[in-house]
Chains A and B, each alone.
Chain A
Amino acid sequence: MNIPLDQVDKHLAKMWDGATRHDQATARTTLLTLVIIVTEDAMVERVNKVISDVVEAQPVRTIVVSCAQGGESEIVANAALHMNSQNQPSGDAITLLAKGNARHWLPENIDRFILSGMPCCVWWVGDLPDRDNLFERMVERADLTLLNSAEMDLRDLNKVADIADKFRQTAMADLTWSRLRGMQDLIARFFDHPDAAPYLDELTRITFAFSPRENDIDVASTRVGLLLGWLCHALHLDTQHAKWYLKKGAAQIVMHRRGGNYPEITVHIQRDKRPGVHDGALTRVELAAGVDEEALFTIARQDDPANVLWTARVPSVVIPPQLMHFESHNEGRMLRRCLENPVRDPLFEQSVRAARDILRSVAPRLSGPPSTYR
C-alpha cells in the first residue's frame, strides 16, 4: 500500500508507537540514513538481503530508491519498520519509486526523509554512470558515498578517483576496499619485523596473482588495481613514468621509487583462475627484495580459499609461517564495516588516485592506443 509522501513520518511514528507498546524496552535509536539508489530492478532482491544484514547490526533509516520509466510522473512511497532477528524494530524502511519524469524530483524528496543531525550515506548500486544528474545531486548531499569496486571494470577506478576529486565535501567508501584491509595488514606485517624492515627499501619485485572473471579482458582486477595503488602511494612509487609490458595472460610494470636511491621495482600481474575464489580476488601476493631476491615475502591462498599462508624468508632470521583465516565477507558485512565509521578514509582516496594514474594507460576510459605500451 502506497503512502502519500507527507504521511510517511506519521506512519512510521505510529508503527514505532505500536512496537513500543508491545515491548516497553523498545528504543527508537538510529545511527544514520542510508540512501540506496537501485539502478536496475534485478538488483532489488540483492539490496534487500544486504539491508537485512545491515539492520541486524545497526539501527539505520534506509531509503531505497528506484525508478520506473513511463507513466504519469509521480513519486510513490512506502514505509515499514526493519525488524532484527530478535523481532525488535531496528530502524525505518522507506521505499520511493519515481515514475516517469519524477526521477528529477527525487533529491529534494529524499532530503525530507534524511534524519536530521545524523550522517547520510548514499550507496549507488550497479554501474557508475558517466554523467548522471541524479547521481551527482545525491553525492552532493551525502556525507559518505558508497560504491563497490568489485562489480566495476578496471577503467571505472578512473571514475571513482574523478568523483573523489570532484566532490571533495563527501567522503568515498568502497565495499571491496574494506575487504582489502586484511590483505594490506598482512603485507604490512612483513615489515613490522625488525629484521625484515630494512628489506622494504630493497624491494625489487611485487607479484599479484588474481582469479579473473569469465571473459575478462582487463589486465588486472579492480582489487589488484587498488592494492597496487595503495603500494604506489605508501612507497612513493613514480606512477607517471611507469612502463607497462603486456603479454597474453600477464602484465609487467617497471617503476621507480621517488626520494632516494632505491632499486627498480618490477610489478608482475598474473591470472590464476581458481575454483571457489571470488572473481577478481587475489590468490597470491609476493614481494622479493635484496640481492638475488634474498628476502621473499609471500601470501598464498590455500586449497580452502578462506585460508592464506603467510611466509617470510629473511636471511639469517627465523620467522615462522602463519596460517590466517579470512572470514567470508558478504556484501552486507562489507557495507556494515563501511557504515561503522562513516568518515573520510584518506588512504582509500590516495590509493584510488594512485591506481588511476598507474592504470590509465592500460584501462583508458576512451578507446585508443595506450601511449606507453611496448
Chain B
Amino acid sequence: MYANPLRVGLETERVAPPCAFVIFGASGDLTRRKLIPALYNLNVSRLLPASFSMIGFANTESTTEQFRANMHAGTAQFSRRKPVADATWLDFASRLHYVTGTFEDPAAYGRLREKLEELDQTAGTRGNRIYYLAIPPSLFPMAIENLAKAGLVSDPNDRSRFTRIIVEKPFGRDLASGDALNQQLHKGFAESQIFRIDHYLGKETVQNLLAFRFGNEIFEPLWNRNHIDHVQISVAEDIGVEGRGKFYEEAGTTRDIVQNHLLQLLMVMAMEPPAAFEADAVRDEKVKVLRALRPIVGESVAKLTVRGQYAHGSFAGKPVVGYREEPNVSPHSMIETYVAMKLEVDNWRWAGVPIYIRAGKRLTKRSTEISIHFKRVPHSLLSPKEPITPDVLALRIQPDDGISLRFMAKVPGPSMILRPVNMDFHYGTTFAESSPEAYERLNLDCMLGDPTLFARADEVSAAWRFITPVIEAWQHGDQPTFPNYHAGTWGPDDAARLIEKDGRAWRRL
C-alpha cells in the first residue's frame, strides 16, 4: 500500500481518497442541519480531497442551483464555523449537485448513474461512491435493490474502487426486523461496505471514554466487581418530542435511545481492552458485552424495568403539554417516553455489579453521563458513627463534557470529620479548540474506510436480542397507568423504587 513520505510526522496522517458522496433523501432536514454542515466543516479543515463531489438525490423537484442555495442557508445556520466565508463556500458548493428522482423509479437510478459517471470524468471521483441513506428504513430495501440493479455497487474485493453505504438508526424495530434489515443490506452490500451510524460514537467524549479507560493505568485495576458497587448510565433530555410525534409513536424511548445510544455507552464502559484499536478488535469486545447481558424475560421484566410517559408540566419556567397532547400523538398513546432498567453483565469482570440505566424525555435537565459508584471502604476507621460516602467517578457526555471524581476529605478542625468533595475536569475550559461534530468524524471515517466507530451487524442483532423480549413483554403484560410523571421532573416514582429497593439511589444529575 502506498504511503506518502510527505505525510510522515504531519498532524493529518490519514487523508480521504477521491469519492462521490450521495445523500438519499437530500431534501430532508438531516441533510441541511447536519450532513452538509459537517461536509463543509471537513472541507474547511482541509480534510476532504480535491476530487470530492456530493450528489443530493431526492424526490423533491429541485435544481442543483436551488439545492446549493438551500444548503448554503442550512450551513450558515447550523455549521459550528461561522460566518460561512463566501469564497470557501463557493468552492465547496461547486462540488454539490442534485438529481431528482423517486426511490422506486429505476430510471432515476439511471440518471444518478449518469451523473456519477460524469463526475468520475470531470471531478476525478474515480468510481468511488458512498451512499448515505437519510431516508425512512421502509425505503431501504427498494433503494438497495435499485442501486444494485443499476450497477452502482462495486465488488467489495475490487481494490481499484470502493462503494460504501451509510445507514442511520433505527436499525429495525425488533430482532426480526433488525435481522431482516441486515439481510436486505447484505443483498446489495458486503458487511465491510456497510457503515451503521450511531452518532453517539462520533462524540469526542465517548471516544475519550476509551482514552480514559485504556490510556490511564490508575483506573483500570479498579474497573471490576472487586471495587465497583454499581454503575448508572443516564440519558436525560429536557425537551419533548419536538414535532417528531409520528416517529415517536412508532419508536418510543426504548427503540430511540436505549437499543442504540445507551447500549453503546454500556458497551464502551464495560468492554474488555481490545488487542488493538482496530475496527474488528474493538467491535468484537463490544459485542461480547451485549452477549453477556443477562436476558430480561418473563417475570423479571416487571421487576427490572420501568416505563413512563410524561404528563403536562413545566420546562424552563413555562408550562408544557403532556406527551398525549403533542402533535401527531394519539390521545390514548401507550408509548413510553421514559425507561429505567436494572441490568447485569454476566462475565468475570462484572458479575454481581448491577448497571442501572435510565433514559427519558421532559426530565428536569439535559444530562448524559456514566457514573461509576465504588464500594464503601471495608471498615469505617475514621468515621465510625457516620457511614463514609462511597467514591464516584462520573463521566459526563453532554452537556459540559468532562470527568469528575468524588472522594472523601477531612473537614479542617480538631475532629476527624469527613465530607465528600468533587474534583472536576471540564473539557471546555481545558481544551479550547472546538470539537468536531459527530457527523464530521463519522463521515470522514467512512471515506477513510474505518468502521471502528460504526455498529456491526452482529452488534445490532445482539442489542435487539436483548431488547426485544422486554418490548414484547410490555406489549403483552399489564399496562402501566400513563401518564405517570410530570414534565420537568425526574421521571416516574417507580424508577426511584427500582433502585431504592436495592438500597441505592439515582445520582443527582
Could you list which residues of chain A lie within 8 angstroms of chain B, going by C-beta atoms?
27, 29, 31, 56-59, 84, 88, 90, 181-182, 184-189, 191-194, 197, 200, 234-235, 302, 304, 307, 310, 312, 317-325, 336, 340, 345-347
Contact = CB atoms under 8 A, between A and B. Distances in A.
Majority DSSP secondary structure for residues of B touching A: loop
A192 B95 CA distance: 19
Interface of B: 2, 4-12, 15, 17-18, 44, 46, 49-51, 85, 87-88, 90-91, 94-95, 121-124, 423-426, 429-433
Among A31, A186, A234, A321, the one with the most B-chain Cβ atoms within 10 Å of its Cβ is: A234
B15 A192 contact: yes
B50 A322 contact: yes
A323 B88 contact: yes
A56 B6 contact: no
B231 to A, nearest CB: 24
A322 B95 CA distance: 10
A325 B51 contact: no
A59 B429 contact: yes
A191 to B, nearest CB: 5
A189 B9 contact: no
A324 B89 CA distance: 10
19 contacts: A29-B425, A29-B426, A29-B429, A181-B10, A185-B46, A189-B46, A191-B4, A192-B17, A192-B49, A193-B18, A193-B49, A235-B6, A317-B124, A318-B51, A319-B51, A320-B123, A323-B88, A323-B90, A340-B431
Contacts of B423: 27
Given A320-B51, A322-B50, 20 more contacts: A27-B425, A29-B425, A57-B431, A84-B429, A181-B11, A182-B46, A184-B10, A188-B7, A192-B7, A192-B49, A193-B51, A194-B2, A200-B4, A234-B8, A322-B91, A323-B90, A324-B46, A324-B88, A325-B88, A347-B9
B6 A187 contact: yes
B124 A318 contact: yes
Nearest to B404: A27
Given A31-B430, A197-B4, A347 B124 contact: no
Contacts of A200: 4-6
A257 to B, nearest CB: 11
Contact of A325 (B85, B94, B432, B433): B85
Contact of B430 (A59, A319, A347): A59
B86 to A, nearest CB: 10
Contacts of A307: 87-88
B293 to A, nearest CB: 36
B50 A312 contact: yes
A266 B8 CA distance: 23
A224 to B, nearest CB: 17
Given A234-B5, A318-B51, A319-B50, A325 B123 contact: no
A340 B12 contact: no
Contacts of B50: 189, 193, 310, 312, 319-322
Contacts of B51: 193, 318-320
Contacts of A58: 430-432
Closest 9 CB pairs of A and B: A57-B432, A347-B9, A188-B6, A323-B91, A318-B124, A27-B424, A192-B15, A325-B88, A322-B50
Given A185-B46, A310-B50, A320 B124 contact: yes
B157 to A, nearest CB: 18
A189 B121 contact: no
A78 B432 CA distance: 27
A241 to B, nearest CB: 21
Contacts of A31: 430
Given A57-B432, A59-B429, A192 B4 contact: yes
A234 B9 CA distance: 10
A191 B426 CA distance: 39
Contact of B4 (A59, A188, A324): A188
Contacts of B425: 27, 29
B6 A184 contact: yes
Contacts of A182: 46
A265 to B, nearest CB: 14
A56 B122 CA distance: 46
A235 B46 contact: no
B124 A340 contact: no
Nearest to B6: A188
Contacts of A56: 432
A272 B121 CA distance: 36
Nearest to A184: B10
B10 A188 contact: yes
A31 B5 CA distance: 34
B492 to A, nearest CB: 30
Nearest to A346: B9
A191 B124 CA distance: 15
Contacts of B44: 325
Contacts of B430: 29, 31, 58-59
A345 B88 CA distance: 31
A191 B432 contact: no
